[in-house]
Amino acid sequence: MAWDWQMFCEDTLDRTVREGCFGTGGDITYLDWMLSAWGWTVSVSLLALLLALVTGVVIGTLRTLPDSKWIVRFGNAWVEVFRNIPLLVQIFLWYHVVPAVFPAMKSMSGFTLVVLALGFFTSARIAEQVRSGIQALPRGQRYAGMAVGFTTWQTYRYVLLPNAFRIIIPPLTSETMNIFKNSSVAFAVSVTELTMFAMQAQEETGRGIEVYMAVTGLYIVSAFTINRIMTFIEKRVRVPGLVAPGAAGGH
């Protein structure tokens, strides 16, 4: 069977080929639709990543606080809940159950609820990495902060977290790539991202090979771009000899 890439230049309504492959005057081609879906995918992924980073850093830090048993338990419970429930189940919970329990959330769009679900799901994984990064630091770094009169907040802010982040950038890179791939489940609640586009476009055109190859390529471009950005950051902030095997700076 011959491939027909010209299908991306077709109008989504009357299937006529548009010159230049982009619609005009309100017309939409399959290429327009795919690029719009890619925009939704990137938007969901970046917003969820921001939420995951902020929440993950906070929860991961709380899990290493000394003499704070109940705070540590709260952090542990957060990680266990959000890490052990499948992402698709969490999305349905946010979409169907949470608004029923909290009526104020009924006005939230599916896009917002997907960002919350994906962000909190990933935050549990990032929290575990932050905890591990802090505990991988030499114990003396915490004591050094205390010795110069830093409060617990200042010790984390100026000593522990900056060094821990340098350690966890490689696994954090994997999580940033995963969040782009995991965003594909947003189709389950009718967010028009790449996966939903692929499912609908291949049904309308009968060109599943072309559609899924193009969508796969966009996922690869997205993940590879974030990988290169994180690799650049890692090289810029790397401190040779920072990691101390078998150390436990978090306690």
- Which pLDDT score, from 0 to 100, does residue 155 have? 87
Does the pLDDT value for residue 24 go beyond 50? yes
pLDDT attached to residue 126: 95
- DSSP characters over the chain: ----GGGGGBBTTT-PBPGGGS--TT--BHHHHHHHHHHHHHHHHHHHHHHHHHHHHHHHHHTT-TT-HHHHHHHHHHHHHHHHS-HHHHHHIIIIIHHHHSGGGGGS-HHHHHHHHHHHHHHHHHHHHHHHHHHTS-HHHHHHHHHTT--HHHHIIIIIHHHHHHHHHHHHHHHHHHHHHHGGGGGGGT--SHHHHHHHHHHHHS-HHHHHHHHHHHHHHHHHHHHHHHHHHHHHH--TT---TT--TT-
Task: Give residue-wise pLDDT tens across range 54-98.
Answer: 999 999 999 998 878 899 999 999 999 999 999 999 999 998 899
Q: For position 249, what pLDDT does the model report? A: 44
pLDDT in tens, 43-60: 999 999 999 999 999 999
CA geometry: angle 41, 44, 46, nearest 5 deg: 100
What is the per-residue pLDDT for 241? Answer: 62
Could you report the per-residue pLDDT of 113-160, keeping only the tens digit for each?
999 999 999 999 999 999 998 988 888 888 888 888 888 888 888 888
Give the list of residues 6+ apart from residue 213 with CB closer than 8 angstroms, or none: none
Q: Return the sign of the alpha-carbon dihedral for residues 214, 6, 196, 23.
A: positive
Angle between helices 30-62 and 161-182 (to 10 degrees): 150
Q: What is the pTM of this model?
A: 0.86
Residue 25 falls in which region: left (phi positive, over 0), alpha (psi -120 to 50) or beta: left
Residue 15, pLDDT above cutoff 50: yes
